Amino acid sequence: MNHIIENIAQIRRQIEEAALGVGRNPDEVKLLLATKTVSAENIRIAIESGERLIGENRAQEIKS
């Protein structure tokens, strides 16, 4: 499995554990991926794995 997908899965598990630990529904917690200096290929991998909340603070990076 790709390291990006593995990392996202690990973060989602941590979110689920933390949410359940405080009595929240994990589905109510949103994960926003920040992509500063991340390659377009790696962003594509995240999108293909189902991620939809992705933020980039540099306009020139969005265009690539």
Write the DSSP string, 38-64: --HHHHHHHHHTT---EE-S-HHHHH-
The length of the chain in residues reads 64
- What does the domain layout of the chain look like in residue ranges? 3-63
> Considering only CA atoms, which of 52, 12, 57 is closest in space to residue 38?
57
Q: Each residue's pLDDT tens digit in the chain (64 positions)?
A: 699 999 999 999 999 999 999 999 999 999 999 988 888 899 999 999 999 999 987 666 556 5
Q: What is the pLDDT of residue 35?
A: 87
Q: What is the pLDDT of residue 62?
A: 57
